[in-house]
Structures are given as structure tokens and as C-alpha cells.
């Protein structure tokens, strides 16, 4: 799968799935735009990308800030002159009780990062993706289909369900321009997001027992799927959701 000279924005690529995707795209010849907030981690990822001989651009940005979102697209165009692929991957999960006084603050934070930022970046990127007949990959979750985990993750589940529907709507709209839009919904993947969630008694060693395949995924497995859907091999696929969840959904 060659992405030679393709220009790819991966949001939230300082760690986890985004970092694995950025590195995988660079390995296949892409110029990657690494977007995140932690400069040291982003530098580490961009160094790995550049070890494959292609230029990487680091943009320190909060995707939920409109000025930052504009800067992500503008700096990409200034540096590389075009955009081929947008991966809306940045996301957060946080627990919040429906009746707690801070519930709406948490809801807004999660929706702003997981949904609104992807919507705004899609809005900004669309004219440029039409020019290149590029494509968009939105990283959702099985939580967009089932209220998995905990009832305190309502905001997260809602944001991912909305992202799925938004993706299908945009896929329909942009099909006439040859721009494809697809969704990837992982189940458990070993990344910081689950460590940061403070799940009681959470332990990676026993967590694999929770899935039918008795395993969780590594970020590189999701990156492989991202690259497939972004590639020409998937030229007939748009508006689709690809689930990679070690069987979680068939249990629910």
C-alpha cells in the first residue's frame, strides 16, 4: 500500500492509535502532519516518521479550539500544498454521573473534542479533499453502538454515536466529488485512554478476559485498518463502519 507523496493529517497522533497511524503512513511514503498537545511526544512520533525519509509537520493544537483547527489545515497547506487524507482520531473519555453538578461541563468537553472538532476539521478540510479526491477516516468506538463499560460514559457513547451518523451524512454528501468517508470502531486497545479513565480494579493482564477472543488490540492493528480504508484498495468503500473489537459487539 503506497502513500507516496500523499499528505495526511492525523489528529491526536502524539500517542496510541494516532501515533501508530502516523508512523505507518510515513513508512508507506506519506508526508504526515502530527497533531497533538504534548510537544515531547509529538517530536518523538515525528522523528520516527522522518526516519522513513519523508517530512513530518508537527502542529501543537487543541482540536476543540477553532483557531487551532484552522491553523492545522493552514499550516498543512503552507508546508505541503495539498491535503489527501484527514484522520479524525483525537478523543477523550471521562466518567461523569448524570446527576453530578459537573455533568454538563464534562458532556460539553467530550462532545467538543470527540464530535465538534471532527465536524469543524471536516468542514475546513473538505474543499482541499475535493481537489485531491481524498478521504476521511473517523475514529469512533464500539461505544457508539452499545453503552458499553459504564453508564457514567454517557457523553463518550453519545459523541461516538453522533460521529458515526455525521460520517455517513458527509459520505453521502461528498460521494459526488469522489471523496470517501469511513468510520473505524475499535473495542479495547492498549493505549493511554483506558489507563487515564481510572476504571476500578482495571488491569491490562486480566482485561483480555472481557472479550470473546480473550485479547485486546494493539494500536498498530487499528493503524493497519486506517491505512487500508485510506488506500485505493478501499476505493469502493464509503459511509461504512469497520469494527475491530475482538468480538465485544457479538457479546452485547
What is the contact mask toward ligand NAD in residues 9 to 48, using x (rule: CB under 6 A)?
--xx-xxxxx-----------------xx-----------
Residue 25, number of CB atoms within 10 A of its CB = 31
- Shortest Cβ distance from residue 133 to ligand NAD (Å)? 25
CA distance 128 to 142: 30
Q: If binding is defined by CB under 6 A, does position 167 make contact with ligand NAD?
A: no
Q: Which of residues 212-231 bind ligand NAD (CB under 6 A)?
A: 219
SS3 210: helix
The stretch among 21-29, 89-97, 147-155, 199-207 that binds ligand NAD (CB under 6 A) is: 89-97
- Shortest Cβ distance from residue 210 to ligand NAD (Å)? 11
The stretch among 43-51, 185-193, 200-208, 235-243 that binds ligand NAD (CB under 6 A) is: 185-193
- Alpha-carbon distances, residue 180 vs 80, 116, 127, 172, 239 (angstroms): 21, 20, 13, 9, 7
Instruction: Check: CB of residue 44 under 8 Å from CB of residue 123.
Output: no
Residue number, 235 or 251, with CB nearest to ligand NAD: 251
Active site annotation includes 216: no
Q: Select from 149, 188, 225, 242 the one that contacts ligand NAD (CB under 6 A).
A: 188
CA distance 222 to 23: 12
Q: Which of residues 91-120 bind ligand NAD (CB under 6 A)?
A: 91-92, 113
Residue 141 CB contacts under 8 Å (≥ 6 apart), including other chains? 91, 156, 157, 160, 185, 186, 187
Instruction: Check: CB of residue 210 under 8 Å from CB of residue 252.
Output: no
Which residue in 25, 80, 107, 156 is the catalytic one? 156
Q: If binding is defined by CB under 6 A, does position 144 make contact with ligand NAD?
A: no
- Shortest Cβ distance from residue 195 to ligand NAD (Å)? 8
- Shortest Cβ distance from residue 236 to ligand NAD (Å)? 25
Q: Select from 193, 229, 230, 234 the one that contacts ligand NAD (CB under 6 A).
A: 193
Q: If binding is defined by CB under 6 A, does position 89 make contact with ligand NAD?
A: yes
**Which conformational region is residue 217 in: left (phi greater than 0), alpha (psi within -120 to 50 degrees), or beta?**
beta
- Shortest Cβ distance from residue 227 to ligand NAD (Å)? 15
Query: Exposed (0-12), middle (13-18) or buried (19+): which is 165, by Cβ within 10 Å?
Result: exposed
Q: Select from 8, 72, 90, 183 the one that contacts ligand NAD (CB under 6 A).
A: 90
Residue 11: beta bridge partners? 35
241-244 and 180-186: which strand pairing?
A: parallel
Residues interacting with ligand NAD, by CB under 6 A?
11-12, 14-18, 36-37, 62-64, 89-92, 113, 139, 141, 186, 188-189, 191-194, 219
Instruction: Indicate which residues carry an active-site annotation.
Output: 156
Amino acid at each position: 500500500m503506497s502513500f507516496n507523496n500523499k499528505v495526511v493529517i492525523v489528529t491526536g497522533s502524539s500517542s496510541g492509535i494516532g501515533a501508530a497511524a502516523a508512523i505507518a503512513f510515513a513508512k508507506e511514503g506519506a508526508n504526515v502532519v502530527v497533531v497533538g498537545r504534548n510537544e515531547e511526544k509529538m517530536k518523538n512520533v515525528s522523528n520516527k516518521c522522518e526516519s522513513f525519509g519523508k517530512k513530518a509537520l508537527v502542529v501543537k493544537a487543541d482540536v476543540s479550539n477553532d483557531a487551532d483547527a484552522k491553523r492545522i489545515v493552514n499550516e498543512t497547506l503552507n508546508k505541503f500544498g495539498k491535503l489527501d487524507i484527514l484522520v479524525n482520531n483525537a478523543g477523550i473519555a471521562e466518567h461523569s454521573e448524570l446527576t453530578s453538578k459537573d455533568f454538563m461541563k464534562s458532556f460539553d468537553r467530550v462532545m467538543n473534542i470527540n464530535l465538534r472538532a471532527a465536524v469543524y476539521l471536516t468542514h475546513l478540510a473538505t474543499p482541499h479533499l475535493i481537489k485531491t479526491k481524498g478521504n476521511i477516516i473517523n475514529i469512533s468506538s464500539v461505544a457508539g453502538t452499545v453503552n458499553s463499560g459504564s453508564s457514567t460514559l454517557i457523553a463518550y457513547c453519545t459523541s461516538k454515536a453522533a460521529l458515526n451518523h455525521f460520517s455517513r451524512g458527509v459520505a453521502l454528501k461528498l460521494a459526488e466529488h469522489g471523496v470517501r468517508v469511513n468510520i473505524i470502531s475499535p473495542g479495547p486497545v492498549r493505549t493511554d485512554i483506558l489507563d487515564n479513565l481510572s476504571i476500578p480494579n482495571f488491569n491490562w493482564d486480566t482485561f483480555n478476559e472481557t472479550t470473546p477472543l480473550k485479547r485486546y488490540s494493539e494500536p498498530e492493528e487499528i493503524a493497519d485498518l486506517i491505512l487500508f480504508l485510506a488506500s485505493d484498495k478501499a476505493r469502493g468503500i464509503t459511509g461504512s463502519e469497520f469494527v475491530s473489537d475482538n468480538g465485544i459487539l457479538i457479546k452485547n
